Amino acid sequence: MTSNLTRRTMIVAGAVTGLTGAVFRGAATAEPRGGGTAFTDATVIDPASGRVLPDVTVLVRGDTIVDVGRHVRPDGARRVDLRGRFVIPGLADMHTHAQAEGIDNGLYVANGVTTVREMAGSPLARDWRDRIEAGTLLGPRYTVGSRLIDGAPSIWDPAWLDVVQVSDAATARAAVREEIARGADFIKVYSRVPRDAYRALAAEAQRHGVPFAGHCPDVVPLAEAADLGQASIEHMFWTPFESSTKEAWIRREIQRIRLERGDYSGWFAALHPLEWTAAHTYSPVKARHLHAKLARRRVRQVPTLAMHRGLDFARTLDTNHPRSKYLPASSLASQEIALREFYLKDRAPSEDAEWAAMFDHRLRTVRRLHEAGVPLMTGTDTGTVAVWPGFSVHDELELFVSAGIPPMAALYAATAEPADFLGTRTGRIAPDHAADLAILDANPLVDIRNTQKLSGVVVRGHYLDEAARLQVLADVERTAAASSGAALSPGCPCHTG
């Protein structure tokens, strides 16, 4: 890489962007003392049960749903008439990377995203989680993983990202213990971890009762990762290999890959021809065997199709999207660096058609995974090219449906499945569950794009009506614009996987 920009400068840039928790608290409407809020005459869509309940009332007190039904008596509660509107559980982004203070949380909340999983141990995300839990910042519920644990050398340059490099079983076990001591909710595995180190990492994490998730290391078959207890697999890079009639040849080629530290573009270049071969030697029999194991082991797949779309169509990507007004200049600069230094640096224009065709293969694979009963979860990989906090969860839902997944099942992947995975009270519209809701002007079961037609959000019981939601977006836009003129050195939060 030619740049000397660092991840730390990105965090510093985020710290000066200034949209405070007080702005969010001012935008959220507090409930009447003791009475709660009654959302009346709504059509409730509850993916966990698969039920659609017309003309019901959802009664919220504090941060909890206390009753749902047609005969709920909302005595003493403030009433919010939702006649003609649809209510779904708050959405989840299960693959995020913190970018900037005053940006991420506003975009999540304004887009109805009330649960996020931070995948790179960001100190910024830990700070947000603590402030949100303390009630001093309005934002989604955070689960924060460890720093990335990769092989040595890592395909990440440590000057760009705080990555832990392990070379054998002993260093892997030590890394797990250190990350648990640092407060990680789970251990994040990366691409180049050696097989013996991975097995030791899995054993150590399980010994401490901490989940491990992330990439499937290149040298580890998915079936083995499932047997060892990996909780979730991120992205779609490795899925085709065990569905190929040439798997043995592919495995030998993977063993031959040699990369220097920080050579992320080289990793893409090395893996792509193997993906291409696997896609063209697809075996339905092998796929069914693998998918059955993933389903049986309940290994969640987080496809991050929004990220893959940016990667697979990198040459023709329109980077001047209207959503870019919500990101600070440093984040936009990081995406440009990623596009140039990671995605396209080692990619010849003659390969573009292959990359585009791989995206179609990824969509077909996601449909097959769903049909086989492999649990799916929505995740976007925020910080990568053409991915935006909050907004891209709706893109992911649209891509799920375009892959052939029914809208109710797509909503399940964005609500009930993440809640089950995390063991939280979120993801359902039912008594004793968290009051995290998205209020829509149109039915998402008719057109999944209707999840973007938000007219209100409830996060931890705080109700933001349409005016408040739009005010949050306006505040984020103003914060992003204010950062543009600052003398900031953009870092690269991208592709932290």
| Over residues 392-420, mean pLDDT | 98
pLDDT at 345 over 90: yes
pLDDT at position 161 = 87
Per-residue model confidence as pLDDT tens digits over 374-395: 999 999 999 999 999 999 999 9
pLDDT at position 34 = 54
Query: Domain coordinates of the chain in residue numbers?
Result: 91-146+231-426
pLDDT at position 11 = 30
Q: Which residues contact 260 (CB under 8 A, 6 or more apart)?
A: 153, 266
Q: Which residues contact 456 (CB under 8 A, 6 or more apart)?
A: 80, 438, 439, 463, 464, 465, 466, 469
Give the integer Cα–Cα distance in Å for 462 and 235: 33
Phi-psi region of 404 (alpha: psi -120 to 50; beta: other; left: phi over 0): left
Give me the percent of the chain exceeding a pLDDT of 70: 90
Q: Domain 91-146+231-426 adopts which CATH fold?
A: TIM Barrel (3.20.20)
Is the distance from CB of 489 to CB of 33 less than 8 angstroms? no
Grade residue 319 by pLDDT with cuts at 50, 70 and 90: confident
Give me the percent of the chain exceeding a pLDDT of 90: 87
pLDDT at position 15 = 32
Per-residue model confidence as pLDDT tens digits over 438-472: 999 999 999 999 999 999 999 999 999 999 999 99
Per-residue model confidence as pLDDT tens digits over 148-183: 999 999 999 888 889 999 999 999 999 999 999 999
Grade residue 430 by pLDDT with cuts at 50, 70 and 90: very high
Question: SS3 for 422?
Answer: helix
Phi, psi of 48, deg, nearest 5:
-60, -40
pLDDT at 10 over 90: no
| Over residues 299-316, mean pLDDT | 97
Question: SS3 for 82?
Answer: coil
In 255-325, beta strands by DSSP E: 300-302
Peptide bond into 273 cis (omega under 30): no
Per-residue model confidence as pLDDT tens digits over 230-287: 999 999 999 999 999 999 999 999 999 999 999 999 999 999 999 999 999 999 999 9
For residue 487, count CB atoms less than 10 angstroms from its CB and return exposed for 0-12, middle for 13-18, buried for 19 or more.
exposed
Q: Which residues contact 488 (CB under 8 A, 6 or more apart)?
A: 9, 12, 13, 16, 328, 329, 330
| Over residues 464-484, mean pLDDT | 95
Type of residue numbered 155: I
| Over residues 284-296, mean pLDDT | 98
- For all residues of the chain together, what is the average pLDDT? 91
Q: Which helix (H) or strand (E) holds 212?
A: strand 212-214
